[in-house]
């Protein structure tokens, strides 16, 4: 049967957003620095040193060299001899105790870490990153400090701390990316790069990244952007219903009828949990 206009018309003006935060069923991909005991090579983070090229903007060869290694050295931030409280741990409770990844030879360094993105719609994905850098995330004049798949990510430094005359400088901050799908490749290994500018001694970074990919929040959430119930979902249901597409057979009985229509309406109006 064909849904009547009286069914579709009142729904068309309704947009229902899911609860903020990580919704039930959402997929999270996370990476951090410090993937080994302190003093050991980092199992995930590699790097390429620019030497004395301060404020160097990476190119394709630099990104490839960072991925090729060597492995960064894991350092416990609590053992770093820095006064004045400049070194800061990450705020997210999920990253309590995470260690830093270092190029102990110092000087400006491009760090790289790989992460896998599943084969699914990425529309509406978000990324949250926190970091403390020794010395600077990015360089001067403005050189990007953060890249995803070699694409520069706009960011600003939340705080800058010269360490009480000891000659150390640290920057710390957090970065949130809405609609992160513009940086990502589905069903592929993706790469996060942190470009740290340092003029002497050791160079390192403490970081964590959460990628959150929304998934359908209920039976009416049929099309991306998942986590939002809107006209796109209504059209997906109506088109599927008229084409006898299984996407619209909500009770999976092989019959397209008023039961499916009512299930869709109920789920749509109930919104996301």
Q: pLDDT tens for residues 43-100?
A: 999 999 987 666 788 999 999 999 998 999 999 887 765 545 567 788 888 888 899 9
Mean pLDDT within 105-124: 91
CATH topology for the 27-213 domain = Jelly Rolls (2.60.120)
What pLDDT was estimated at residue 102? 93
Give the confidence band of 139 by pLDDT, cuts at 50, 70, 90: confident
Catalogue the long-range contacts made by 22-25 (C-beta closer than 8 Å, 24 or more residues apart).
22/212, 23/214, 23/215, 23/217, 23/227, 23/272, 23/273, 24/217, 24/273, 25/215, 25/216, 25/217
Listed range (11-25, 140-154, 183-197) with the worst mean pLDDT: 11-25
**What CA–CA distances, in Å, run from 174 to 131, 145, 206, 208, 216?**
6, 12, 12, 10, 28
Give the confidence band of 163 by pLDDT, cuts at 50, 70, 90: low
Q: Is the peptide bond before 135 cis (omega within 30 degrees of 0)?
A: yes
Listed range (18-22, 70-74, 108-112, 158-162) with the worst mean pLDDT: 18-22
**What CA–CA distances, in Å, run from 86 to 8, 23, 132, 175, 240?**
58, 35, 9, 19, 57
Q: What is the SS3 assignment for 108?
A: strand
**Greatest mean pLDDT among 104-108, 117-121, 187-191:** 187-191
Chain-centroid distance, C-alpha 137: 17
The rounded radius of gyration (Å) of the Cα atoms in the chain is: 24
User: For 6, which DSSP code?
Assistant: H
Q: What is the SS3 assignment for 19?
A: coil
DSSP-H helix ranges across the chain: 5-11, 60-68, 231-242, 258-270
What pLDDT was estimated at residue 71? 96
Q: What is the average pLDDT value for the chain, to the nearest integer? A: 83
Question: Does the pLDDT of residue 16 top 50, yes or no?
Answer: no
Q: Which residue has the higher pLDDT, 25 or 233?
A: 233
What pLDDT was estimated at residue 162? 61
Question: Does the pLDDT of residue 174 top 80, yes or no?
Answer: yes
Listed range (15-19, 154-158, 175-179, 220-224) with the worst mean pLDDT: 15-19
Q: Are 112 and 47 in contact (CB under 8 A)?
A: yes
**Greatest mean pLDDT among 112-116, 131-135, 166-170:** 112-116
Would you call 13 exposed, middle or buried from its count of C-beta atoms within 10 A (0-12, 13-18, 19+)? exposed
Q: Are 113 and 66 in contact (CB under 8 A)?
A: no
What pLDDT was estimated at residue 19? 35
pLDDT above 70 as % of the chain? 81
* Residue 17: other Cβ atoms inside 10 A: 13
Measure the CA–CA gap between 2 and 20, rounded to whole angstroms.
Answer: 35
Structure tokens at 76: 């416990």
**Domain coordinates in residue numbering, the chain:** 27-213, 218-268
Measure the CA–CA gap between 4 and 132, rounded to whole angstroms.
Answer: 58
* Residue 115: other Cβ atoms inside 10 A: 16
pLDDT of 178-217, one tens digit each?
Answer: 989 999 999 999 999 999 988 667 788 999 999 999 899 8
Measure the CA–CA gap between 168 and 81, rounded to whole angstroms.
Answer: 10
């Amino acid at each position: 049967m064909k849904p009547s206009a009286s069914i579709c018309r009142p729904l068309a003006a309704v947009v229902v957003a899911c609860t903020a935060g990580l919704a039930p069923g959402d997929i999270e991909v996370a990476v951090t620095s410090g993937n080994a005991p302190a003093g050991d090579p980092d199992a995930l983070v590699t790097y390429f040193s620019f030497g004395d090229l301060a404020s160097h903007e990476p190119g394709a060869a630099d990104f490839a060299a960072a991925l090729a290694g060597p492995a960064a050295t894991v350092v416990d931030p609590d053992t770093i001899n820095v006064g004045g409280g400049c070194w800061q741990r990450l705020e997210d409770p999920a990253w309590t105790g995470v260690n830093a990844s270092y190029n102990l030879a110092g000087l400006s360094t491009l760090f790289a870490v790989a992460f896998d993105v599943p084969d699914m719609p990425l529309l509406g994905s978000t990324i949250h990153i926190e970091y403390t850098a020794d010395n600077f995330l990015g360089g001067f004049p403005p050189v990007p400090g953060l890249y995803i798949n070699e694409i520069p990510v706009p960011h600003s430094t939340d705080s800058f701390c010269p360490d009480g005359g000891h000659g150390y400088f640290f920057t710390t901050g957090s970065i949130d990316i809405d609609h992160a799908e513009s940086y990502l490749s589905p069903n592929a290994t993706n790469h996060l790069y942190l470009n740290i500018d340092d003029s002497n001694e050791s160079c390192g970074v403490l970081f964590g990244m959460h990628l959150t990919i929304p998934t359908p929040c209920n039976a009416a959430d049929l099309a991306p952007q998942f986590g939002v119930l809107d006209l796109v979902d209504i059209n997906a249901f109506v088109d599927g219903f008229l084409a006898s597409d299984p996407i619209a057979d909500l009770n999976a009985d092989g019959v397209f009828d008023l039961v499916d229509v009512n299930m869709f309406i109920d789920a749509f109006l109930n919104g996301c949990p």
